[in-house]
Chains A and B, each alone.
Chain A
Amino acid sequence: MSRSAAAVAAMLLLTACGGVGGPSRPAGESLTTMGFGLPDEIATVRVDAFKKAYPGVTVRINEGAFDEQAFLSAVASGNPPDVVYLARERLGSYAARGAIQPLDDCVSRESIPTGDFYPAARQQVRYDGHWYGIPEFSNSIVLIVNDRAARDAGIDPASVDTSDWDRLAELARKMTRTDGGKVERFGFNPKLPEFLPLWAKANGADLLSADGRTAGLDGPAVVEAMTYANRLVESQGGWKRLKAFVDTWDFFGARNPFAEDQVGMMLGEQFLVSSMAGTTPDVAITVLPFRGRDGQPVNLVGGNAWAVPKGARNPQAACRWMKTMTAAETWIAAARARQDKRTREGKVNIGTFTGNARADETIFGEIVRPSGKAPFDAAVRTIRAVQPAGFVVPQSPAAAEFRKAWEDAGTRVLLGGQKPADALGRAQAEAQKAIDGAAS
């Protein structure tokens, strides 16, 4: 059976699942993107920079979030976009199967200054020794403390220290507030199972070997971290109750959980802080590093990347697009536009945290100015301070299955279906089997 026939058949197999990359077009100086939108000046300024640098290239931006079904269908049918914008953690799976192209030629031909990128971002876009993506934003994880809840618990919010797990558990219990059967304040949301790699790292363990080939999900330090974080949740009312409570939160609105006093402390990406700066600039929070048990900051870094799909018709323009969109100068121009806009609106700006360390030096050294809102000005310093401590889960040929294995394990533990050691033992077997299968 020919590959294209198989692809068409496979797409039609699931008739409920439509969508490909758009109508056929003649090859030429045009560039089609997927997974990228133009929601704000950070996007539009950079797109304008590309259009100005390459006026002969017609840019078609298919707005909307990355949709793996649409992406894979487009690649399989031979009608992919020229460049795709997706979560960096997905790159390994796609690279291993040849759905995206290695970018080594692109990087050398266009002299993309990869040394500008943060080491963690750099590591996350490489697979098997090759470049497969160019990193965009960089999301750091910090501890956000609700000052009111901390004071209710009799502690100075700035003194919260996550390296002492016994005291942290005690503080979580003190911050939790319930009324009858209802949770009114979640003392400390450890963000399990999503942040299991962070908890494991805080306990000195990695979920995956550096080469992405050996899972370490059932190691004693990982089991201990999962056991501890699960006990945290149990001691505050249990996952079923707490998750239902969390589902009612408006994370990005004026009634966010800190403004509404619904959470005592939470681990979260810095964009939550950025959002609060816009919606609730007077909220009383303290942003702190998440420290491992050795007292050192630990920061699980994430973000999106640009990649070029297999069969892209204009890889040269795609390469130039990626270079322009992630260049320090472009980021700086976008950050300046953001600062100007926020100043005009009288809003707090905590800056744009990019995957480009050189850009961030200028953005936070010259562009972002103290807002006068002490919690947010301090938050910027904290986020900048934890960036060097950034780490990532290495790319693996079965990244999606690997993630699913440990997330499912976490969910089984949280729901009381399995003990941490058993759940992680099963996850280890599932993950390693998937990695071995994908690598063979």
Chain B
Amino acid sequence: MRPETRWAYVFVLPWLIGLVLFQLGPMLASLALSFTEYDLISSPEFAGTANYARMAQDPKVAVAIGNTVLYTALHVPLAITLALGLALMLNRIGGRGAGVFRTIFYLPSMTPYVAVGVLFLFLLNGQAGMVNQFLGLFGVEGPQWTTDPDWILPGIVLMSLWNLGSTTIILFAALRNVPAELAEAAMIDGAGAWARFRRITLPMISPALFFVVIINTIASLQMFDQVYAMFFGNQVTQQASGDSALFYVVYLFQQAFQFLHMGYASALAWVLFLVIALITLVQWKLGGRLVHYEAGERA
């Protein structure tokens, strides 16, 4: 082995140790736990595939999957469309204002998720929340966002759009890398704004779009903090929503720490991992057809 390679391994070693100790090791252990009955206190007892079989018969799992998938289907396109709109606006701002606006757009990302959850519980309150007060200005009687099962999920999607900072900044960076001469050439050829956006901008930023679609999808499927703070933080809030806000990871957490079914929770975690891996794989395959890489390579 060449000295440079040895040194490369030395530098990578801290990360490798962390990966094995805190990621791979626990993942494998949780895989083993998913085949056991384990309550955190007593020794695990082998249960075969009982936990996986139980998932198929557990109606709450179906509810949690339904809520999570619906949320993902609503959140991801909305968040990326809005973030792209914000990034396009940022891209048009020049001078000193650009930095200020970039900072302002990113600030919500710095807000703790739990604080955002609690804040939106107030904003979305059907009786006195500012969202309904705003709708009232237009003569619209707003729904009971936090107590009506039909409106709880849309309310959560609305809340999720608060934090678009990271996605916006990634797309903004991609927009900055679109060569101006391409748009100029298209203009000379008579291309309008929409045609330039569709034929030049979108293909040029498609790798970034592909990336944010994947990370937003994964984050949506793992949604926990805000929803838990809003609807499951204490007994009183739990009573308000029924199963309307029961997301998959929330249910996983309840099984692990509320009901002490750690083996079952491990099985739930592994199924989520496999589903996310599968979705990412599908996205990757689809992305290969849709994403344009300047160097000519494709995903």
- Give A residues with C-beta under 8 Å from B: 1, 3, 5-10, 12-17, 68-69, 72-73, 75-76, 93, 97-99, 181-183, 193-194, 239-241, 243-245, 247-248, 310, 398, 400-401, 404, 407-408, 410-412, 415, 417, 434
A3: chain B residues within 8 A (beta carbon): 42-44
B241: chain A residues within 8 A (beta carbon): 411
Q: Is the interface of A mostly helix, strand, loop or mixed?
A: helix
A310: chain B residues within 8 A (beta carbon): 41
> Are A6 and B126 in touch, CB under 8 angstroms?
no
Closest residue of chain A to B254 (Cβ to Cβ) is A404
User: Sorted from nearest, which 7 A-B pairs have the closest CB atoms?
Assistant: A9-B29, A12-B26, A244-B126, A13-B30, A244-B127, A240-B147, A240-B144
> Are B22 and A12 in touch, CB under 8 angstroms?
yes
Q: Whole-angstrom distance from the CB of A250 to the nearest CB of chain B? A: 12
> Are A182 and B127 in touch, CB under 8 angstroms?
yes
> Are B239 and A72 in touch, CB under 8 angstroms?
no
Closest residue of chain B to A4 (Cβ to Cβ) is B43
* B85 beta carbon closer than 8 Å to chain A: no
Q: Which of A194, A240, A245 contacts B239 (CB 8 A)?
A: A194
How many inter-chain contacts with C-beta < 8 Å in the A-B complex? 142
A16-B225, A98-B42, A244-B147 in contact; A10/B262 too (CB < 8 A)?
yes
B127: chain A residues within 8 A (beta carbon): 182-183, 241, 244-245, 247-248
> Are B257 and A6 in touch, CB under 8 angstroms?
no
Q: Whole-angstrom distance from the CB of B208 to the nearest CB of chain A? A: 27
> Are A181 and B40 in touch, CB under 8 angstroms?
no
Chosen A-B contacts, 14 in total, with CB atoms closer than 8 Å, are: A3-B44, A10-B30, A10-B33, A12-B29, A13-B256, A13-B269, A16-B225, A93-B260, A99-B40, A194-B235, A240-B147, A240-B148, A244-B126, A401-B259
Closest residue of chain A to B44 (Cβ to Cβ) is A6
Q: Which of B29, B42, B259 contacts A5 (CB 8 A)?
A: B29
* B141 beta carbon closer than 8 Å to chain A: yes
> Are B40 and A10 in touch, CB under 8 angstroms?
yes
Chain B positions 257-279 with a Cβ under 8 Å from a chain A Cβ: 257-260, 262, 265-266, 269
Q: Whole-angstrom distance from the CB of B63 to the nearest CB of chain A? A: 11
Q: Whole-angstrom distance from the CB of A89 to the nearest CB of chain B? A: 10
> Are B259 and A13 in touch, CB under 8 angstroms?
no
Cα A244 to Cα B40 in complex, Å, equals 37
A243: chain B residues within 8 A (beta carbon): 144, 146-147, 240
A10-B266, A17-B253, A244-B126 in contact; A404/B146 too (CB < 8 A)?
no
* B56 beta carbon closer than 8 Å to chain A: no
B265: chain A residues within 8 A (beta carbon): 13-14
Cα A116 to Cα B121 in complex, Å, equals 44
> Are B243 and A9 in touch, CB under 8 angstroms?
no
> Are A14 and B256 in touch, CB under 8 angstroms?
yes
Cα A339 to Cα B158 in complex, Å, equals 49
B147: chain A residues within 8 A (beta carbon): 239-241, 243-244, 247, 415
> Are B144 and A97 in touch, CB under 8 angstroms?
no
> Are A9 and B260 in touch, CB under 8 angstroms?
no
> Are B121 and A247 in touch, CB under 8 angstroms?
yes
* B247 beta carbon closer than 8 Å to chain A: no
* B172 beta carbon closer than 8 Å to chain A: no
* B238 beta carbon closer than 8 Å to chain A: yes
Q: Is the interface of B mostly helix, strand, loop or mixed?
A: helix
Q: Whole-angstrom distance from the CB of A161 to the nearest CB of chain B? A: 27
Closest residue of chain A to B252 (Cβ to Cβ) is A14
* Count of chain B residues with a beta carbon within 8 Å of a chain A beta carbon: 48
Q: Whole-angstrom distance from the CB of A329 to the nearest CB of chain B? A: 34
A68: chain B residues within 8 A (beta carbon): 257-258
Cα A341 to Cα B84 in complex, Å, equals 60
- Give B residues with C-beta under 8 Å from A: 22, 25-27, 29-30, 32-33, 36, 38-44, 121, 125-128, 141, 144, 146-149, 224-225, 235-236, 238-243, 252-253, 256-260, 262, 265-266, 269
Cα A188 to Cα B259 in complex, Å, equals 33
Q: Whole-angstrom distance from the CB of B189 to the nearest CB of chain A? A: 52
New contact pairs (18) apart from A9-B25, A194-B236, CB-CB < 8 Å: A10-B30, A10-B33, A12-B26, A12-B29, A13-B265, A13-B266, A72-B41, A75-B41, A243-B240, A244-B125, A244-B127, A244-B128, A247-B125, A400-B258, A401-B259, A407-B235, A407-B238, A411-B240
Closest residue of chain A to B39 (Cβ to Cβ) is A97
> Are B239 and A411 in touch, CB under 8 angstroms?
yes
Closest residue of chain B to A180 (Cβ to Cβ) is B141
Which of B33, B39, B239, B265 counts the most chain A CB atoms within 10 A?
Answer: B239
B269: chain A residues within 8 A (beta carbon): 13-14
Cα A8 to Cα B22 in complex, Å, equals 10
B32: chain A residues within 8 A (beta carbon): 1, 6, 9
Which of B22, B236, B260, B266 counts the most chain A CB atoms within 10 A?
Answer: B260
B29: chain A residues within 8 A (beta carbon): 1, 5-6, 8-10, 12-13
> Are A72 and B40 in touch, CB under 8 angstroms?
yes
Which of B25, B40, B224 counts the most chain A CB atoms within 10 A?
Answer: B40
> Are A181 and B141 in touch, CB under 8 angstroms?
yes
B43: chain A residues within 8 A (beta carbon): 3, 6
A400: chain B residues within 8 A (beta carbon): 258-259
Cα A330 to Cα B32 in complex, Å, equals 50
B26: chain A residues within 8 A (beta carbon): 8-9, 12-13
B258: chain A residues within 8 A (beta carbon): 68, 400, 404
Closest residue of chain A to B235 (Cβ to Cβ) is A194
Cα A245 to Cα B126 in complex, Å, equals 8
B125: chain A residues within 8 A (beta carbon): 244, 247-248
Closest residue of chain A to B224 (Cβ to Cβ) is A16
Cα A3 to Cα B40 in complex, Å, equals 8
A1-B32, A247-B127 in contact; A97/B242 too (CB < 8 A)?
no
Q: Whole-angstrom distance from the CB of A242 to the nearest CB of chain B? A: 8
> Are A408 and B41 in touch, CB under 8 angstroms?
no
Cα A364 to Cα B38 in complex, Å, equals 48
